[in-house]
Amino acid sequence: MEFSFIKSAVKPSQFPPPDRPEIAFAGRSNVGKSSLINTLVNSPKLARTSSRPGRTRAINFFNVGKTLCLTDLPGYGYAEAPLKLRRNWKVLIETYLKERHNLKAVVVIIDIRRTLGQGDLELLRWLKTYEIDAIVVLTKADKVSKGKAKHHQDVTASQLMQEGFGQPISFSAKTGQGKQELCKAMHKVVGTDL
Ligand code: GTP
Ligand code: MG
């Protein structure tokens, strides 16, 4: 399968034509969204990653062959971002979720060491409102012991259940853990293999 970068969009008029099913990747700033995409597509440099938060400020669109589009959304919850930027983010993301009719699901990425934050909950509630499927992933699983990972997964799973969402998938961009399971969940939504 061929993967390629299509474009970056900082406003809706720059979105590419919605001519194929799309899956978006969202989460807090620095949580590991871009790394997760790179792991999924086996291409360490497709999406830009950085140890500094707030790296991805636009919506980046990627082609998966000719049948699927992936989008890397800018991270939320970066407190140091100027207010204007945070406002822009909100408008950009909400417009994207509301108007992108080819959007089939959003992969909501959470650090396995944290519980659901305000930004995560706000996003999950938007997805409910707009009737978009959510796939929740707990990433950086390699950073905690198996026992801790299981504990965090249970806590987040019950938080998610209260909000009306399914089981989260544990994942690591470093070890590839959870990749198969995530591909399966994505396949279920779009019917296309990665
Ligand atoms: P923004 O675009 O700034 O919002 O960040 P992002 O969510 O795209 O995060 P990015 O993929 O750039 O990763 C942030 C940092 O976390 C980088 O230093 C990555 O190497 C690291 N990282 C991401 N995923 C994992 C993981 O599964 N395990 C470990 N150990 N580190 C990870
Ligand atoms: Mg990023």
- Is 113 a pocket residue for ligand 1 (Cβ < 6 Å)? no
At 96, which amino acid appears?
A: Y
For the segment 141-169, what is each residue's pLDDT rounded down to a tens digit? 999 999 999 999 999 999 999 999 999 99
Domain ranges of the chain: 3-190
CATH number of 3-190: 3.40.50.300
**Ligand 1 nearest-atom number relative to CA 139:** 27
pLDDT over 70 at 54, yes or no: no
pLDDT band at 9 (very low <50, low <70, confident <90, very high): very high
Lowest mean pLDDT among 4-8, 11-15, 74-78, 91-95: 74-78
Ligand 2 centre to CA of 105 (Å) is 18
Instruction: Determine if ligand 1 sits within 6 Å of the CB of residue 158.
Output: no
Q: Is the CB of 143 under 6 A from ligand 1?
A: yes
CB burial readout 21-56, b (16+ within 10 A) else e = bbbbbbbbbbbbbbbbbbbbbeeeebbebeeebbbb
Q: Is the CB of 152 within 6 Å of ligand 1?
A: no
Structure token pair of residue 42: 């086996």
Strand partners, 4: 63
